Structure 1
Amino acid sequence: MKIAIVTGGSNGIGKATALEFGKRGISVILTYNTYKDRAEAVVKEIEKNKGVRAVALKLDLTQISTFEGFVLEVKKSLKEIWNRTTFDYLVNNGGVGGPMMLTEMSEEYFDKILNTNFKGPVFLTQHLVQFMNDAGAIVNTTSSSKNQSFPGYSAYGSLKAAFSTWTRYIAKELAPRKIRVNAVSPGPTLSNFGDGVFDKHPEFIKPLAEQSVFGRIGQPEDLAKVIVNLLSDDFGWVTAQDIEVSGGHLL
């Protein structure tokens, strides 16, 4: 039985990824920060798959001082549910978005973007990789924003670019353990990420869809399938890559 850890697993791409793992017979430890009820609903859905188990644990990526306690909870779950001390896959998906122009940007906003989208995942990985199985795999969620220049997304895009670069460095560092590290860069995706921007501004969907060669924006399931496949042994010769999954956005 393979076991995956998925951060930000209560909604959007993280939820879709956790559910995709379940469909493929892979058990899941998923994290949530705010929406415990949503996370528990995902757990129930995953466990409808025969022989698959799941658990939801609270994690705030901005509070690095709590990571040691989180790791203890992960280890406790591994022991009690699976009688294991290790896991196999890590999906660093948790993050925050939302635009802010430079002239309006506060240090509080910048620190939130920094800690959730880059610093938090870096130090969380540092903790978790110590008990990841050799020959395991990691996928980091970056963003196609790192290659574009949309007003208001300078902090977000820049830190996603840093996360992408870090992916390559860590792929090199973990190679002696045969651990592969890759990233996926979503284009515009229909989820409540980015402070629920599409719920608040449904008029954004049509122009973004027109920027894709397929005439639609992405669904969380589009990303989930790529993430889970990229972690599988079928992609065992792929590491240090950042794959854009955007339906040809702005091609």
Structure 2
Amino acid sequence: MATKNKIALVTGGSRGLGKNMSIHLAKSGHDVILTYKSNQTEAEKVVAEIQTLGQKAAAFQLDTGNVKSFDAFLSTVAAHLEENTGSNKFDFLVNNAGIDRNSKIADTTEADFDELYDVHLKGVYFLTQKAVPFIADNGRIINLSSGLARFASPGYAAYAAMKGAIEVFTRYLAKEVGVRGITANVVAPGIIETDFTKAVFEHAPQVIQHISASTALGRTGVPDDIGGIVAFLCTEDARWITAQRIEASGGMYL
């Protein structure tokens, strides 16, 4: 990776929103390190696409729900950076990786709750904790929340609760890392058409009609609606934005 380029680490960058964020960051002139949980083939396709844009990229396996793996992962990333840039630092951390577990409160199992917690709250908290020493001064941390932390949709109580916690965590994080010029912000997408929501949209097309009717801009979201926001927060123009929740839902449920 060229030393002159800033470097983003995007978790869950092999598909969906993470892929779109990675591409937008590359189009903005940044090199990208992305993680994948199991699908190395898809991750390598994203790496190849970033390289066609003239940026450097690499993909590493990471289960963001397994805190015990974080030290080894970051050591691998640091060694890669040292070898390719002469420094073990990167500039932007995007905590995007996520899973979906849809159930009403009465039906939520402890196993599903714990899995959501491990990926969406505990994993984000401790990966950030362990990554901060590797983030360059004046860097950026972007955490992903959800419109579901503002409005309620039955079936997402546990998921939304974790995202609400991330929003509070991000404000505290911004306070603590601000002394190094690092900003920390939340991007909260609305309902986006990705493989995350594919099953619902395919089997219940009326959901799309309902969402469109409930959204000020009159449609469901697509990944391109989100990637550019993440890329913007990594620009110098966004240096004075920190501890903020930026909802990108097209004005859903206003």
Which bin holds the TM-score, normalised by the shorter protein? over 0.9
Question: Aligned to 2:220, which of 214, 217, 228?
Answer: 217
In structure 1, the partner of 2:238 is: 235
Q: Look up the match of 1:7.
A: 11
Residues 15, 42 of structure 2: 8 Å contact kept = yes
Determine if the alignment matches structure 1 residue 141 to structure 2 residue 137: no
Say which SS state the counterpart of residue 138 (structure 2) adopts. Answer: strand
Structure 1 residue aligned with 2:75: 72
Residue 185 (structure 1) aligns with? 188
Q: Which residue of 2 aligns with 1:62?
A: 65
**Cα offsets for 1:163-195 (capped at 9, x unmatched):** 001000000011111110001110011111258
Note closer, same or farther for the CA distance 1:221–1:20 as it changes in structure 2 (3 Å cut): same
The answer to whether the aligner puts 1:88 opposite 2:91 as a matched pair is yes
Q: Distance in 2 between matches of 1:199 and 1:41?
A: 25
Amino acid at match of 1:30: L
Which residue in the other structure is 1:171 paired with? 174
Normalised by the size of structure 1, how large is the TM-score?
A: 0.96
Q: Which moves more between the two structures, 3-12 or 77-86?
A: 77-86
> Do the aligned partners of 1:31 and 1:39 also contact (CA within 8 Å) in 2?
yes
Q: Structure 1 residue 207: deviation in Å? A: 1.7
2:37 aligned with 1:33, yes or no? yes
Question: Which segment drifts farther, 13-22 or 187-196?
Answer: 187-196
AA in 1 matched with 2:33: I
Q: Is the 8 A contact 1:191 1:198 kept in 2?
A: no
Counterpart-to-counterpart distance in 1, 2:34 and 2:201 = 24
Partner of 1:104: 107
Question: In structure 1, how many angstroms separate the alpha carbons of the residues matched to 2:206 and 2:194?
Answer: 14
Please name the residue that 1:198 is paired with: 201
C-alpha distance in structure 2 between counterparts of 1:181 and 1:6, whole Å: 15
Amino acid at match of 1:205: I
RMSD between aligned alpha carbons? 1.3
- 1:19 deviates by 0.4
Number of aligned residues: 250
Identify which range, 194-203 or 113-122, moves more after superposition.
194-203
TM-score, L = length of structure 2: 0.95
CA deviations 1:4-62 (Å, max 9, x no partner) are: 00001011111000001111110000011022111110000000122x10001111011
Please give the per-residue CA displacement for 1:99-128, whole angstroms capped at 9, x wherever unaligned: 111221111000011111111011001111
SS of alignment partner, residue 193 of structure 1: coil
Structure 1 residue identity aligned to 2:144: T
SS at match of 1:145: helix
Q: Secondary structure at the match of 1:47?
A: helix
AA paired with 2:69? T
Q: Distance in 1 between matches of 2:149 and 2:205?
A: 23
Q: Unmatched 5+ residue regions in structure 1?
A: none
Q: Choose from 94, 116, 121 the match for 1:118.
A: 121
Q: Write the distance in 2 (CA, Å) between the matches of 1:89 and 1:151.
A: 34
What letter corresponds to residue 5 of structure 1 in structure 2? L
Following superposition, the deviation at residue 196 of structure 1 comes to: 4.6
Q: CA offsets per residue over residues 133-158 of structure 1, 9 Å max, x none? A: 01101111100101111111110111
SS at match of 1:74: helix
| Cα distance in structure 2, aligned partners of 1:79 and 1:132 | 13
